[in-house]
Chain A
C-alpha cells in the first residue's frame, strides 16, 4: 500500500546520523553495504561490465567529495549519499503497485521486489537520487537500513546495526531511534545542530547530517618575550634593541 501509514504515537523512527566533520571519504561504508546486500536476504546487487571499460552497478550508498568555501572556513567535505527514509517520501506515494512502502513501526522505506513492475517512477520522485534500477531483475532497489541485520537475532546484539555503520573506521556514522529524544543519535543531532538535506523540498528526511565543526585552529603559540641576559652584555643588547627599535 503506497498510502503513507499513520504513525502510531511512540513509534520509532530508525535512521542514520552522518558526521560530515569526521567522515574521511574512504568509501568503506559503500563497500560494506554492497558486500552485505549482495549476499543478504535482499539478494544479488547486480554489476554490469564488471571488468570492461564502463563498469557500473547498483549501490545503495555513494560517496562524494566536495570543496567548500564559507566565510568562516574552507575545507574538503566528504559526503555519503543514501536513502534518508523520509517522513514524506514521494517515492512511496507515486508507486502504482504498492511495492514501495513505509513501515509504520519504524519508518523504514522499503521495496517489495516481488511486486515491483520496474516503472522507475519512484526514482524520478526522489530528489536525493537514492534509488537505483536493477537491470538484471527489472526492479528498483534501495537502501533497506539493513533490515536483515538490525532485527536479526542470529547476530550478536552488538552487530545488529547497518553494515555501513558497523564498518565506518572514523565512527562518522551513527544508527538509532531519532524519535526518542533521549537516544544517543537524537542527542548528537541536538548537540551538533544536525540538518535535513534539501529541507526546502519538504520530504522531511529521517537521516540527519552533522555539519563540519567551525574552525578551531589555535593561533600560533604565544611568544615568550626574550629576557636579555643580566650584566654588561645584557645592557649592551638592551641598548642595541632600543637603537634598532627606533
Chain B
C-alpha cells in the first residue's frame, strides 16, 4: 500500500496527541490535578495543537477537501466516519476537562472528566486503527495486532511527551520516565510480534482463485491490460524501497523504541532528565514515522494478484 505522507503524519501526530491526552487525563483522574495544574493546562494546549495539525494534514489526502464535513455522516458503518466523529467529540470533552482543571482542580468532576478525556482520545485512536484493521483484502492490517498496536504506540509516544512536560514544568521526571521506559518496552515487543506475525502469514488468495480457476491450476500472467502503471498499481501495488524493508525495520526499532527506552531509563535514574526526555520525544517521532511508513509499504493488497504480484 502506498504510504501517503498525509496519512503517516495524521496517524503519528494524533497518536502523540491522544496518547498525551490519555496520560494527562489519567494523571488528573488519579487526583494530581490540584498539585500540578500548570502541567495539565500546557499539556492540553499541546494536545489540541498536535491533534488539530494531524487532522488538518489528513484533509490534504482528500480529493475534495471542501466536502470533508460529509465524512461525519456514516458512523453507523464506516470506521473512517467514526474516527471523524470521535475526533470531533474529543474537543468539547478536552475543553471541559481543561476548564475544570483550571476552575476546580480538586473537584471530583475534574477526575471524572480526566477519565472521559482519556477514553475519548484513545477511542479516536482505536477508530483510526480499525480503519486499517477492517480492510479484509490487506492481510498485514486485517489481523488481531493492528488495533492494540495503535493504542500501545499512542500511549508510548504520548508518554514521551508527558515525561518531557513533567520535567520542564515540575523539574523532575523520574517516575514518568520509568513508566515511558515500560511503555517503550511493551511497544517494542508488540512491534516485533507484529512483524513475526506478518512474515509468517499465508497469502489470502491465489491468482487461480482470483480469476475463478480451479485450485490445482497454475496461472501465469501473459499480457497485462496496460503497459504503464495505473491507479490500482500505484495505490495498491506499491513496491518502491521494499527491498530496504529489513534495514528500515532495524532503524524503526532502534530509533523508535530502543533509544527512547534507554533514554527513559537514563532519565528515570536521574541522569540529565531534560536532555534525555527531549531526545526520547525526537527519537520516538522519527522512529514511529518510519514504523508507520513500513506499516503501509509492507502491506500488500489482494488486487495486486491480478498483475502477477505476490501478496
Contacts and interface: CB of A to CB of B under 8 A. Distances in A.
Interface in A45-64: 54-59, 62-64
B73 A98 contact: yes
Interface stretch (A66-74, A149-157, A176-184, A228-236): A66-74
B218 A68 contact: yes
Contacts of B222: 65-67, 76
Kindly name the residue among B131, B225, B307 whose own CB sees the greatest number of chain A CB atoms within 10 A. B225
Contacts of A127: 136-137, 205, 301-303
B62 interface: yes
Given A55-B228, A96-B74, A132-B231, A126 B137 contact: yes
A43 B132 CA distance: 32
A202 interface: yes
Contacts of A3: 74, 76-77
B205 A198 contact: yes
A155 B67 CA distance: 35
Interface stretch (A6-14, A112-120, A215-223): A112-120
A201 interface: yes
Contacts of B217: 68-70
Most-contacted residue by chain B among A3, A62, A71 (CB, 10 A): A62
Contact of B64 (A54, A94, A118): A118
Interface residues on B, range: 35 or more
A118 B63 contact: yes
Contacts, number: 206
Given A81-B306, A124-B236, A93 B77 contact: yes
B228 A68 contact: no
B236 A117 contact: no
B136 to A, nearest CB: 6
Given A96-B71, A133-B235, A138 B63 contact: yes
B207 interface: yes
Contact of B218 (A2, A70, A132, A196): A70
A94 B212 contact: no
A24 interface: no
Contacts of A117: 62-65, 67-68, 70-71
A95 interface: yes
A25 B216 CA distance: 23
Contacts of A65: 221-223
Interface stretch (B23-31, B49-57, B78-86): B78-86
Interface in A147-204: 195-202
A121 B80 contact: yes
A235 to B, nearest CB: 56
Nearest to B225: A62
Contacts of A22: none
Given A64-B225, A133-B63, 11 more contacts: A66-B221, A94-B79, A94-B134, A97-B74, A97-B81, A118-B62, A119-B61, A127-B303, A132-B232, A198-B205, A202-B136
Interface of B: 1, 61-65, 67-68, 70-74, 76-81, 84, 131, 134-138, 204-205, 207-214, 216-226, 228-232, 235-236, 301-304, 306-307
Q: Which 9 A-B pairs have the closest CB atoms?
A: A118-B63, A138-B63, A129-B303, A96-B81, A62-B225, A127-B137, A96-B71, A65-B223, A97-B70
B220 A66 contact: yes
23 contacts: A1-B74, A2-B78, A3-B74, A54-B229, A59-B230, A62-B306, A64-B211, A64-B307, A65-B222, A66-B211, A66-B222, A90-B136, A96-B84, A116-B63, A116-B67, A117-B70, A119-B62, A119-B63, A124-B301, A127-B136, A129-B301, A198-B302, A201-B136
Nearest to A49: B228
Nearest to B233: A129
Nearest to A74: B218
A94 B147 CA distance: 17
Given A55-B228, A62-B226, A123-B231, A97 B306 contact: no
